[in-house]
């Protein structure tokens, strides 16, 4: 069928085809060698980059415990959405907004914020997204290059105590903060108030890095080289506070619905057992993503819930000032324990300074017990005339009044404790006189104290004249078992002597057993010493004060309470302090009726001055 000579041609043709195929295959082999051997260094890094992504691992923030190991603050997982602007396609904004169920504008704004930070680094777009939103994003992550998600943590408060003014809340770091430091990323949270702020550097821990293998869609699919190159985060240090959870809880309950504050200290070392400022706020609603309506309601509240009254209020201490006055009087020799002053219902010096009653002859002990103003007007008058206001100022200041005592909670205020310079500033040079000073003797006029300062002064009376540094954190437990103990100072107030303390203590003891404290503060189970105060308030109801320590012969707790507009200290502040002492010393409150009454306590208008 085919010509014989064409058969030979066929053979030749087949050979030609073989040669062509061979040539092409050699080309392929050559290309393979080129790629795998000579261009290996070009392409291998691409493959590594392709498959590895560095992710930040947030350390878990340190936990906070009370003095007995009760967990006060812990972390719970929350979900957040991150963006790397360079990889994110702006066309996906509507999709992301749809998945997040928020207006596109919010997405655009968040994206812009991230871009302002960096085009190339991942930053947090949305914090604390709902779980179902989070899972919707996760399902669609392949449609959203540049978007990633993370599980982070949020503070929760399992003990059922608020301690808003002690613990403080976290907030996203400000632009300025994270630009000036290198430790935060956009959207990181840092302590804004309370010990969360003071101990931020301990609680925060160290950020770790994790290398993850990712696929072409950016889905993380496991660790890279079994995590050998990962830098694990260092957990933040745990704080052991000096708070007593039970006491704090009761204190908060008692202060609820009132305006005021209290501080309870261990008089021997300055440990803060409870610290409440009322009204307070829910830190859990301000930690992390801010509940804006709640925040604005807290800020606009006229009672100023954010204001930490316990360490920053400026209220005159009233009669609770008298024990300290007594110490100063005894030390300076203006009075002796036996010195008596006749109280005729007031003290006349240029004008009448009223007393609460006609007490007759009063020595110091009795003057404290009965809260006799006349005695202390008299003493202050002599002090101003013979020793001078500046010495008075110095004595009081060494006790911890009118100055910062260095508690480890931010925004402590020194308050007002005048010397002559300050008097000049307040009234004008030479325009103040004896009348403005006599008032100071009973804690009125241009003098203020915070419950913290009063509690410290009370502690000094209780502990034999030692100023103790107030502190909330007792120990810092680092991750690897290392413990750093707080080292608060305890210094002797050199002018306070044991012999001078005795009549003051007895006076305070008798104030509870026989004086104004006898109704609500005289605990059968725990011998208590205390002093009530009712500070005049030109703007409304008087403020009720009470300072106390217990047990009388072996003080374990020193406490100062102010109930603003509470009227008499003896009926507003004293029962609260007394209930707390009962709780702390006995571990329970037996006077349930009193407790119930105090929970429902509505401050009354006071009719009698002091």
Partner 1 sequence: MNIAWYKDFDWLTVLIWVAITAFGLVGIYSATLGPVSEFLPAHIQENFAKQLTWVALSLVVVIVIQFTSPRSFQQLSYLFYFVALLLTASTIFIGIEVNGAKSWLDFGGIRFQTSEIMKIAVILAVANYLTSRRNIEAVNLKSAMVATSMILLPVVIIILQNDTGSALIFLPLIPVMLFLSGLPYGIALMMISPAIITYASIISWQYGVAATLFFTLVIYLLQKRPWLGITSLVTGLLLVVAVNVALTDILQPHQRNRIEAFVNPFQDPQGAGWNIIQAKTAISSGGIYGKGFMQGTQTQLRFLPEQWTDFIFCVIAEDFGLIGGGLAILALLLLLMRLLSNAVAMKTPFAQLVIVGVVTILFTHILVNLGSVMGIVPVIGVPLPFMSYGGSSFLANSIMLGVCLNLYFRQREMSPFA
Name residues contacting partner 1, limited to 184-223 (CB under 8 A): 213-217, 219, 221-222
State the Cα–Cα distance between residues 550 and 569, nearest whole angstrom. 18
Comparison of 39 and 597: residue with beta carbon closer to partner 1: 39
Structure token digits, residue 329? 């009087």
Comparison of 87 and 206: residue with beta carbon closer to partner 1: 87
Comparison of 34 and 344: residue with beta carbon closer to partner 1: 34
Site string for partner 1, 50-89 (x = CB under 8 A): xx--------------------------------------
Cβ atoms 186, 122 nearer than 8 A: no
Least distance from C-beta 17 to partner 1, angstroms?
A: 6
Least distance from C-beta 33 to partner 1, angstroms?
A: 6
Of 513, 507, 545, the residue nearest 526 (C-alpha): 513
Cβ atoms 71, 63 nearer than 8 A: yes
Interaction between residue 44 and partner 1 (CB under 8 A): yes
Site string for partner 1, 3-42 (x = CB under 8 A): x--xx-xxx-xxx-xx--xx-xx-xxx-xxx-xxx-xx-x
Structure token digits, residue 507? 């006076």
DSSP assignment string, 454-485:
HHHHHHHHHHTSEEE--BSEEEEE-TTS-EEE
Least distance from C-beta 302 to partner 1, angstroms?
A: 57
Cβ atoms 459, 549 nearer than 8 A: yes
Comparison of 3 and 539: residue with beta carbon closer to partner 1: 3
Least distance from C-beta 147 to partner 1, angstroms?
A: 15
Name residues contacting partner 1, limited to 300-339 (CB under 8 A): none
Comparison of 11 and 344: residue with beta carbon closer to partner 1: 11
Nearest-10 Cα torsion for 243, 245, 250, 253: 90
Site string for partner 1, 395-414 (x = CB under 8 A): --------------------
Comparison of 14 and 608: residue with beta carbon closer to partner 1: 14
Least distance from C-beta 98 to partner 1, angstroms?
A: 23
Cβ atoms 140, 99 nearer than 8 A: yes
Comparison of 25 and 342: residue with beta carbon closer to partner 1: 25
Comparison of 35 and 299: residue with beta carbon closer to partner 1: 35
Cβ atoms 243, 213 nearer than 8 A: no
Q: Which stretch binds partner 1 (CB under 8 A): 2-10, 187-195, 261-269, 290-298?
A: 2-10
Backbone angles phi, psi at 604, to 5 degrees: -105, 160
Instruction: Please tell me whether the peptide bond between 356 and the residue prior to it is cis, using omega within 30 degrees of 0.
Output: no
Comparison of 37 and 602: residue with beta carbon closer to partner 1: 37
Least distance from C-beta 37 to partner 1, angstroms?
A: 6
Answer left, alpha or beta for residue 335, where phi above 0 means left and psi between -120 and 50 means alpha: beta
Instruction: Please tell me whether the peptide bond between 181 and the residue prior to it is cis, using omega within 30 degrees of 0.
Output: no
Comparison of 50 and 609: residue with beta carbon closer to partner 1: 50
Q: Applying CB under 8 A, what is the total number of residues that bind partner 1?
A: 44
State the Cα–Cα distance between residues 122 and 322, nearest whole angstrom. 61
State the Cα–Cα distance between residues 291 and 395, nearest whole angstrom. 47
Residue identified by tokens 């406490």 is 559
Interaction between residue 135 and partner 1 (CB under 8 A): no
Find the angle CA(175)-CA(181)-CA(185) to the nearest 5 degrees: 60
DSSP code for 410: S
Least distance from C-beta 157 to partner 1, angstroms?
A: 39
Name residues contacting partner 1, limited to 552-591 (CB under 8 A): none
Number of other residues whose CB lies within 10 A of the CB of residue 390: 14
Least distance from C-beta 118 to partner 1, angstroms?
A: 20
Comparison of 29 and 404: residue with beta carbon closer to partner 1: 29
Name residues contacting partner 1, limited to 271-300 (CB under 8 A): none
Structure token digits, residue 2? 């085919």
Least distance from C-beta 29 to partner 1, angstroms?
A: 6
Least distance from C-beta 52 to partner 1, angstroms?
A: 8
State the Cα–Cα distance between residues 103 and 108, nearest whole angstrom. 9
State the Cα–Cα distance between residues 530 and 551, nearest whole angstrom. 11
Least distance from C-beta 137 to partner 1, angstroms?
A: 17
State the Cα–Cα distance between residues 343 and 356, nearest whole angstrom. 10
Comparison of 51 and 413: residue with beta carbon closer to partner 1: 51
State the Cα–Cα distance between residues 562 and 319, nearest whole angstrom. 12
State the Cα–Cα distance between residues 203 and 190, nearest whole angstrom. 9
Interaction between residue 342 and partner 1 (CB under 8 A): no
Least distance from C-beta 1 to partner 1, angstroms?
A: 6
Least distance from C-beta 51 to partner 1, angstroms?
A: 4
Cβ atoms 214, 222 nearer than 8 A: no
Comparison of 9 and 431: residue with beta carbon closer to partner 1: 9
Q: Within the chain, how many helices (H) and strands (E) appear? A: 22, 23
By CB under 8 A, name the binding residues for partner 1.
1-3, 6-7, 9-11, 13-15, 17-18, 21-22, 24-25, 27-29, 31-33, 35-37, 39-40, 42-44, 46-48, 50-51, 213-217, 219, 221-222
């Amino acid at each position: 069928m085919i010509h014989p000579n064409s058969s030979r041609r066929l053979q030749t043709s087949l050979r030609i085809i073989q040669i062509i195929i061979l040539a092409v295959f050699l080309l392929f082999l050559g290309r393979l060698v080129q790629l795998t051997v000579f261009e290996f260094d070009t392409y291998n890094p691409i493959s590594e980059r392709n498959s590895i992504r560095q992710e930040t691992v947030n350390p878990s923030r340190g936990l906070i415990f009370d003095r007995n190991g009760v967990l006060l603050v812990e972390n719970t997982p929350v979900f957040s959405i991150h963006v790397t602007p360079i990889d994110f396609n702006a066309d996906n904004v509507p999709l992301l907004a749809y998945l997040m169920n928020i207006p596109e504008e919010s997405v655009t704004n968040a994206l812009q914020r991230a871009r302002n930070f960096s085009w190339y680094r991942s930053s947090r777009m949305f914090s604390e997204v709902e779980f179902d939103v989070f899972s919707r994003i996760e399902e669609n992550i392949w449609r959203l290059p540049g978007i990633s998600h993370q599980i982070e943590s949020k503070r929760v408060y399992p003990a059922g105590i608020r301690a808003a003014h002690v613990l403080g809340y976290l907030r996203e770091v400000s632009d300025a903060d994270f630009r000036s430091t290198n430790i935060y990323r956009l959207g990181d949270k840092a302590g804004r108030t309370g010990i969360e702020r003071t101990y931020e550097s301990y609680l925060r821990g160290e950020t770790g890095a994790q290398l993850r293998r990712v696929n072409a869609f950016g889905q993380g699919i496991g660790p890279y080289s079994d995590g050998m190159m990962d830098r694990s985060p260092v957990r933040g240090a745990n704080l052991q506070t000096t708070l007593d959870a039970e006491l704090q809880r009761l204190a908060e309950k008692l202060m609820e619905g009132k305006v005021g504050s209290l501080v309870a200290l261990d008089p021997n070392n300055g440990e803060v057992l409870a610290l409440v400022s009322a009204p307070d706020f829910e830190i859990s609603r301000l930690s992390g993503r801010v509940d804006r309506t709640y925040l604005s309601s807290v800020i606009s509240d006229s009672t100023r819930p954010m204001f930490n009254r316990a360490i920053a209020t400026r209220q005159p201490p009233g009669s609770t000032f008298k024990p300290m006055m007594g110490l100063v009087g005894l030390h300076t020799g203006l009075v002796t324990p036996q010195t008596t002053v006749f109280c005729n219902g007031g003290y006349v010096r240029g004008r009448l300074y009223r007393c609460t009653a006609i007490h007759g002859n009063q020595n110091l002990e009795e003057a404290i017990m009965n809260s006799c103003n006349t005695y202390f007007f008299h003493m202050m008058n002599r002090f101003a005339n013979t020793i001078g206001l500046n010495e008075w100022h110095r004595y009081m200041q060494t006790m911890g009044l009118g100055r910062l005592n260095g508690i480890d909670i931010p925004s402590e205020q020194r308050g007002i404790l005048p010397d002559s310079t300050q008097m000049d500033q307040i009234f004008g040079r030479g325009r103040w006189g004896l009348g403005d000073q006599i008032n100071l003797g009973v804690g009125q006029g241009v003098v203020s104290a915070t419950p913290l300062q009063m509690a410290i002064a009370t502690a000094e009376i209780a502990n034999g004249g030692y100023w103790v540094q107030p502190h909330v954190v007792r120990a810092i437990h680092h991750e690897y078992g290392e413990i750093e103990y707080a080292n608060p100072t305890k210094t002797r107030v050199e002018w306070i002597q044991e012999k001078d303390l005795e009549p003051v203590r007895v006076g305070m003891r008798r104030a509870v057993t026989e004086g104004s404290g006898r109704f609500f503060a005289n605990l059968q189970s725990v011998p208590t010493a205390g002093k009530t105060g009712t500070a005049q308030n030109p703007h409304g109801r008087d403020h009720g004060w009470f300072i106390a320590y217990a047990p009388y012969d072996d003080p374990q707790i020193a406490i100062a309470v102010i109930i603003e507009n509470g009227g008499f200290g003896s009926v507003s502040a004293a029962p609260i302090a007394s209930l707390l002492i009962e709780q702390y010393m006995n571990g329970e409150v037996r006077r349930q009726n009193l407790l119930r009454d105090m929970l429902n306590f509505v401050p009354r208008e006071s009719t009698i001055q002091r």
